[in-house]
Structure 1
Amino acid sequence: MGEGISGFTLLPVSTAASLVGMFSFLTVMRWWRYAGHRQVLGFQVPVPGRWTLLSGVCSAAIIGTTTLAYTLPGASIVFMMLLMRGGVLVLAPLVDVLSGRRVRWPSWAALGLSFAAVAVAAGSSVSPTLTLLAAADVGVYLAAYFFRLRAMSHLAKSGEREVSIRYFVEEQMVATPLLVGTLAVLALLGGEGVLGDLRAGFTEALSRGHLLSEIAVGLLSQATGIFGGLILLDGRENAYCVPVNRASSVLAGVLATGVLAVTLGAPGAGALELTGAALVVAAMAVLAVPTVLAARRKAGARAASPPGDVRRVSAASARTRGG
């Protein structure tokens, strides 16, 4: 985007694109039917529940604070990354304990490796300066993630597909509309500083000359929200799901850095970033251990069973997948 624009100016178009992207996704997937419905004026209208409404508000806060985090003046981008990603990693086992979930050893090990990856990637380049606005941004982000993970653990992390989809739909039908509506109200108020930037985000979208880039930011941000949200809704403990979510982010950052280095001549990933990525790969390998061992045990049991037992096991597996 050349000289770049204010993060607050970027929010209106990017969040509006996120709104269109999310509602299009839910429609194409035909997931609206999973939401709770209520009859309004003779029509069945999807409505959120109490917990999904709270989670949607938190998700809206996460979207907004994430977009702002790397655009705030006077705050180190790397330091913001460390606080936000590392903070959520710390929250994961805390939420599990509060929710009465057992945290298995692979999750503890991957959690430690993921946190080490964030810290190593930051390395000596971290400038531990934090403006008041940046501190507020991080605080809102972590508080929103805490309540969102708590809500997910309370209602949706059961391993049942329909329950997870229902939660996801009801949460997302609140999140982006709420954020876009809030930004629109603030823009109407107008004024100097942040309010002026928000109004410019709406009124000068065409004149800035990079509308497609701003729309792409919103659509790609929403895509990470879709896949990241579904990862967090997995039935396993948060100490498992959060490292998977955060590790994916670290690997994406390393890949993007490499692409920018090749295509635009930007600085490539340094030794510390690559070391952090290697720790992320190690964390993912540790998380895969229980699945691999379970698959080997199942294969061994089938090999040791008589042919008739194997057929019965296969039929039972087919019925389970069908259900």
Structure 2
Amino acid sequence: MWRTEEGSTGRLIQLCVGYFAMYVITGVMVKYFLSTGMTGIEYLLYSTLGGAGIVFPVVVGLKWYRMQSNGSITWGPLTFPQEYLVILPSGVCTAVVIPTTTLMYTLPITVMVAMTLMRASVIIVSRVVDAIQIRQGILHKRVYAEENIAVALAMGAVGVHVYYGAREGKSFDFLSDAAALAIFLSYISAYAVRIYLMNYFKNTRGKGVKLDNKGFFAIEQFAATATMIVATVAI
């Protein structure tokens, strides 16, 4: 097995490959099950349950929730890591991103179009978050020209689809479909806040405090699952 260290280029490549592979499988499975007569909401329910069923044994069994913290906060009888103030809202955003991602695939568009709209929008939002945190003095890294070129290409990809979608008979028109627009705006708004919070967590580590990504992931998943359960019961 290819061993890498956290924060290394090798680890980044491993995560990218795994992310790509899982996204391909997800996109194919959504379209397959919908073609068998399953509704989008049914698939959303079962896929979410399956995801939680895999995540929880891992984060609990490996005790990823025991994170290294900058310090603790005490509210009445409760004492908890101060990072929870960032991670828990990020988990709420994740609870929006998870179902809206699946719902995007259930729209009358191809997987490629759905993925282009989502991924391109995330690239654009990520650049905005970088700009905001650089101005705030939180992020001190340089933004390279290639990153801005990627943003320009992403804006072009989204713009082309929106333009042609608005032309009658060409493709599904996002701008005239209230449900599709609501799903997409919910997805990208939640992702924007989540990306800001994730990078705030990463860029505000105290001196000598480890960047505990596994701890962040574990607590975020707890918050996301709790939010989705409450939302499901309420709805």
Q: Do the aligned partners of residues 127 and 35 (structure 1) sit closer, same or farther apart at CA in structure 2, a change above 3 Å counting?
A: farther
CA distance in 1, matches of 2:199, 2:82: 20
Equivalent position SS for 2:212 = helix
Q: Out of 169, 189, 192, which is 2:218 matched to?
A: 169
Structure 2 residue aligned with 1:135? 181
The one of 12, 15, 28 equivalent to 2:48 is 15
Quickly say closer, same or farther: Cα 1:83–1:117, change in 2 above 3 A: closer
Partner of 2:104: 69
Structure 1 residues 116 and 25: CA distance shift in structure 2, 3 A: farther
Q: CA 1:14/1:184 → structure 2, altered by over 3 Å: closer, same or farther? A: farther
Give the Cα separation in 2 of the matches to 1:9 and 1:25. 25
- Specify the code of the residue in structure 1 equivalent to 2:216: Y
Q: What are the residue-to-residue correspondences of 1:66-215 with 2, within 5 Å?
A: 66-72=101-107, 75-77=108-110, 78-100=112-134, 101=139, 102-112=142-152, 127-130=171-174, 131-157=177-203, 161-186=210-235
The CA distance in 2 between the partners of 1:55 and 1:22, in whole Å, is: 17
Q: Distance in 1 between matches of 2:210 and 2:80?
A: 22
1:255 corresponds in structure 2 to none
Cα RMSD of the aligned pairs, angstroms, is 3.7
- Compute the TM-score of the two structures, normalised by the length of structure 2: 0.62
Report the Cα offset of residue 82 of structure 1. Answer: 3.2
- Alignment CA distance shift 1:35-1:71 (3 Å): farther
Q: CA deviation at 1:97?
A: 0.7
C-alpha change, 1:35 and 1:11, in structure 2 (3 Å) is farther
Query: Does the aligned pair in 2 maintain the 1:48–1:174 contact within 8 Å?
Result: no
Aligned residues: 181
Unaligned runs of 5+ in 1: 187-323
Corresponding residue to 1:56 among 68, 78, 91: 91
C-alpha distance 154-162 of structure 1, shift in aligned 2 (>3 A): closer
Name the larger-Rg structure: 1
Identity %: 28
Return closer, same or farther for 1:21/1:172 CA change in 2, 3 Å cut-off.
same
Give the partner amino acid of 1:167: F
- TM-score, scaled to structure 1: 0.47
SS at match of 1:4: coil
Would the alpha carbon gap of residues 158 and 109 (structure 1) be closer, same or farther in structure 2, given more than 3 Å must change?
farther
The superposition leaves residues 123-165 of structure 1 with CA deviations (integer Å, 9 ceiling, x where unpaired) of x897141221110000000100110111112222468754333
Extract unaligned runs of 5+ from structure 2: 1-32
Question: What one-letter code is carried by the residue in structure 1 that aligns with 2:147?
Answer: S
Matching residue's letter, 1:29:
L
- Kept in 2: contact 1:53–1:170 (CA 8 A): yes
